[in-house]
Amino acid sequence: MNISKIAKEAGVSPATVSRVMTKNANVSEEKRLRVEKVIRKYDYRPNALAQGLIKTKTNTIGVLVADLVNPYYSSMLENCEKEIIRCGYVPIICGTLNDCELEVKFLQKMFDMRMDAVIIIGGKSDELVTDPDYANLINRLAESMPIVITGKVEGGDCYQVTLDEAEGINQSMEHLIALGHRRISLVGGMEYIKSTYDKRIRYRGILRKHGITYRERYVINSDYGIEGGYEGMEDLFKKNKTLPTAVVAINDYSALGAMRSIQERGLRIPEDISLVSFDSTYIVEAVLPRLTSISYDYECFGKKLVDTALKLVNKETLPDVQKVTPKLIVRESVRSLL
Amino acid sequence: MNISKIAKEAGVSPATVSRVMTKNANVSEEKRLRVEKVIRKYDYRPNALAQGLIKTKTNTIGVLVADLVNPYYSSMLENCEKEIIRCGYVPIICGTLNDCELEVKFLQKMFDMRMDAVIIIGGKSDELVTDPDYANLINRLAESMPIVITGKVEGGDCYQVTLDEAEGINQSMEHLIALGHRRISLVGGMEYIKSTYDKRIRYRGILRKHGITYRERYVINSDYGIEGGYEGMEDLFKKNKTLPTAVVAINDYSALGAMRSIQERGLRIPEDISLVSFDSTYIVEAVLPRLTSISYDYECFGKKLVDTALKLVNKETLPDVQKVTPKLIVRESVRSLL
DNA sequence: TTGAAAGCGCTAACAC
DNA sequence: GTGTTAGCGCTTTCAA
């Protein structure tokens, strides 16, 4: 079914059908009713490809996300979706399976499909050192399609809504130190990821400020999943005879793995080791003990991402960088040493 | 940038540029090189809307999922995505926030966008009694766009790839009964959801077969999230002086909530209460004790869904219903009473 | 091998 | 108020 057939059956021109559908022109009551009847009869809906082609607007916001399973990302995603829907747009999600090539491919595809804007959550823009090819791609696409990212693209013509990582690590460290912890380990993450890099820099700064010796073997590399947390923790145990009294996990997804490692060794949280994580997804409330964790206002974060994208669609001017402030939520996984 | 500009700059006709891009016609070496050079110069990519419009094929598979956060769904999603990508298509995901109206709206939108096929995971097709309006919608859309569902649409012209729920509950019940459990509770889910209904029917059948009295107050309604599991478990405690020795949770997302409720009362799993769940997402390995759980081969499930969709795109004939067989994975959350 | 032309389905400017 | 027409960007006959 298409607009011409509807027009023919209603005895009007395609233009009139279009006018009835879009509601932004006057049509005589009589013809309108006739057209509406035929539309209902066939449940006619206009072809979005044709509409998009002529209007150069598709009413879609693309959301590219590095990992669909990680609850941090799915929380972000859900909140972006809600806001996109609330604003009358259609959210189009693509997961990039933590694969850079796929990210680039899908980003291009979203451009090809003429999405009105794209939000990129995680992925290549998370890297500390921007890949110049990626920056070029972003710049090329951003000429006609606004791009909002949660990371950073050096020299990239796109907008950032990003977490204040330094503030997050700050709050968790100060909390631990205030409770008497001096041997604090940072488990998980990779140095080439900007958020992790920022955390580690600040971690050292805080230790120095409190006159605590920095121990390199308390900082453990590993990836951001459950397995990463487990292996990171195992690594920590292997590398240290003097264990830390507190561990800061890079996110609560990996904290799950860290907990398993700790508990398998018969150690208790928080009695033997305190544990703090980042993200405060549903996981922190689901495990025992509940995890003290850095929390973001996901609703607000999602809203900011989407609203930024939509303002850009409407050619409004915006700051290049917006920060989302984290907040430590104290639960049960930290013990006082005082 | 568009095909005419490229053509002009290369000194050829748009048709020739198209031939170069699609590679399915002969172009003289000389012109081809000239065109390719201009294409590279501008990183030209054809407008997917225009392509879709003329080819009546968009190379996209839509995936509609009821809940992005629930790890059962995100696992499904990830595996569908992988297979869609492997087959050279672009996965387009929409979450429907467990909202029926949204599901209908997005399904229509996917049709409007002329996706080559749509996979619907969860949502309205999960309901025991099919909404006739929904069936009509499915039938209308399915005339030109194959639809694959994980549930069931009575009288719907779509294809099912569905879990063998009866077999799942069968395995978990037989396992519990073999270990001496007689007081077994079923926590979570709603009767109007087909998968839950099927489980409960079979649950009664198995009890009868083993000569165990069915107790209605051991079957608890609640929704499918963490909160649902918690409240369901609380409800169970409230309703029963004689507690069950084992609980079967409707999924492992809700089992998280059930565990919390059990542990808050100072009861231990499995010493005081055994716990079994459905789905075997990452959660079952993340908690302590690890949950004995019904597992699906998500990779195979995802593949089957996608391959079914793609075969339909290619007009192959297929069985209306395909079953995915579950398998009980024994971990640490069930105690033997023998 | 190549270009001209038609047409996918729609909207919007224009003329009446 | 309404129909005609042009055109969005592409692919694919059809001729040459």
Which pLDDT belongs to residue A75?
96
Q: Give A229→chain B minimum CA distance, Å.
A: 11
For residue B225, the chain A residue with the least C-alpha distance is A282
pLDDT score recorded for residue B24: 84
Mean pLDDT, residues B101-122 taken together: 98
Residues 80-119 of B with CB under 7 A from strand C: none
Interface test with B, best of A21, A47, A60, A284 (most B CBs within 10 A): A47
B210-219 tens-digit pLDDT: 999 999 999 9
Chain A, 18-57: which CBs lie within 7 Å of strand C?
Answer: 18, 21-22, 24, 46-47, 50-51, 53-55
Using CA coordinates, name the residue in chain B closest to A281. Answer: B69
Q: What is the pLDDT of residue A286?
A: 86
CA distances for A172 relative to A30, A131, A167, A194, angstroms: 68, 31, 9, 18
Answer for the pair A294, A280: CB distance below 8 angstroms, yes or no.
Answer: yes
Query: Which H/E stretch holds residue A159?
Result: strand A159-163
Give the model confidence (pLDDT) of B241-293 as tens digits: 999 999 999 999 999 999 999 999 999 999 999 999 999 999 998 888 999 99
* Residue-level pLDDT at A24: 83
Specify the pLDDT at position B288. Answer: 86
Statement: residue B125 has pLDDT above 90: yes
CA–CA min distance A46, chain B (Å): 7
Predicted pLDDT of residue A11? 95
Supply the pLDDT for residue A25: 87
Query: Could you say which nucleotides of strand D lie within 7 A of any protein CB atom?
Result: 1-5, 7-13
pLDDT of residue A323: 96
Smallest CA–CA separation between A75 and chain B, in Å? 6
Residues of chain A with pLDDT under 50: none
The pLDDT score that the predictor gives to residue B286 is 86
Strands A292-295 and A327-329: antiparallel
CA dist., res. B44 & res. B3, Å (int): 8
Residues in A touching B108 (Cβ below 8 Å): 45
Question: Which of B93, B105, B291 would best serve as a mutation to test chain A binding (most A beta carbons within 10 A)?
Answer: B93
Kindly state whether B75 is in contact with chain A, defined as any CB-CB distance less than 8 angstroms: yes
Tokens describing residue A143: 């000429």
Q: Tell me, yes or no, if B68 comes closer than 8 A to chain A by beta carbon.
A: yes
Q: What is the pLDDT of residue B325?
A: 96
A333 Cβ under 8 Å from any chain B Cβ = no
Provide the pLDDT confidence category of residue B207 given band limits of 50, 70 and 90: very high
Distance A253 CA to D11 C1' (A): 48
Yes or no, beta carbons of B112 and A47 under 8 Å apart: yes
Write the DSSP assignment of B30-64 as a string of letters.
HHHHHHHHHHHHHT----HHHHHHHHS---EEEEE
Chain B residues inside the 8 Å CB shell of A112? 45-48
Phi/psi at A75 (nearest 5 deg)? -65, -45
Alpha-carbon gap, residue B210 to B176, rounded angstroms = 12
* Per-residue pLDDT, B203: 98
Residue B172 — pLDDT band, cuts 50, 70, 90?
Answer: very high
Q: Provide, as residue numbers in chain A, all residues whose Cβ is less than 8 Å from the Cβ of B94.
A: 90-93
Cα separation, A273 vs A247, in Å, equals 7
Helix, strand and coil percent figures for chain A, each rounded to 5: 50, 15, 35
Residue B69 contacts A, CB cutoff 8 Å: yes
The reported pLDDT for the residue numbered B42 is 96
> Could you tell me which residues come within 8 angstroms of residue A83 by beta carbon, excluding any fewer than 6 positions away?
A302, A303, A305, A306, A307
Residues of A in contact with B256 (CB under 8 A): 282, 286
| Cα–Cα distance for residue pair B219/B183, rounded to 1 Å | 11
Burial (CB count within 10 angstroms: exposed 0-12, middle 13-18, buried 19+), residue A216: exposed
Chain A residues with CB under 8 Å of B49 CB are 49-50, 52-53, 58, 113-114
Q: Which helix (H) or strand (E) holds A197?
A: helix A194-209
Residue of least CA–C1' distance to C2: B16
- The C-alpha atoms of residue A273 and residue A271 are separated, in whole angstroms, by 6
Mean pLDDT of B3-10: 96
Nucleotide nearest to A53 in CA–C1' terms: D8
Residue B49 CB in 7 A reach of strand C: no
Spell out which residues of chain B touch residue A286, defining contact as CB-CB under 8 Å: 226, 256-257, 259-260, 283, 287
| Residue whose Cα is closest to the C1' of C12 | A15
Mean pLDDT of all residues belonging to chain B: 97
Return the axis-axis angle of helices B3-10 and B14-22, rounded to nearest 10°: 100
Question: Which nucleotide is the nearest neighbour of A51, by CA and C1'?
Answer: C10
User: How far apart are the CA of A70 and the nearest CA of chain B, in angstroms?
Assistant: 9
Residues of A in contact with B287 (CB under 8 A): 286-287
A77–chain B Cβ distance below 8 A for any pair: yes
Fill in the amino acid letter for A304.
Answer: K
Query: What pLDDT is attached to residue A222?
Result: 97
Say what the pLDDT of residue B100 is.
97
Strand C nucleotides, any atom under 7 Å to a protein CB: 1-5, 7-13
pLDDT of residue B53: 97
* Contact (Cβ atoms closer than 8 angstroms) between residue B39 and residue B19: no
